[in-house]
Amino acid sequence: MKNNGQRHFSTTSDDDSYSPEGNFYAIGLNYKKADVETRGHFSISENAQIAILKQAKQDGISSLCVISTCNRTELYGFAQ
């Protein structure tokens, strides 16, 4: 897991040259679409990110990126 202060960036891929297969999916919310209280409900802690990534691997998701900052929470991934 890469951690830059309060910004959390996590991915299921251990290899930077990994080339995912399948369909691309994206879901998220940000300060433009949700107030601070709503964003707080969707904030993903570092421990939760690790759990999400482990579960994603078990569920066959080939690649997943989790981004959680004070202004946004986003998940990007590839799956069959």
Residues designated as active site? 70
- Rounded-to-integer distance, Cα 5 and Cα 23, Å: 31
CA-closest candidate to residue 69, choices 48, 38, 44: 44
Tell me how far CA of residue 75 lies from CA of 44, 54, 59, in angstroms. 10, 14, 15
Residue 3: beta bridge partners?
8
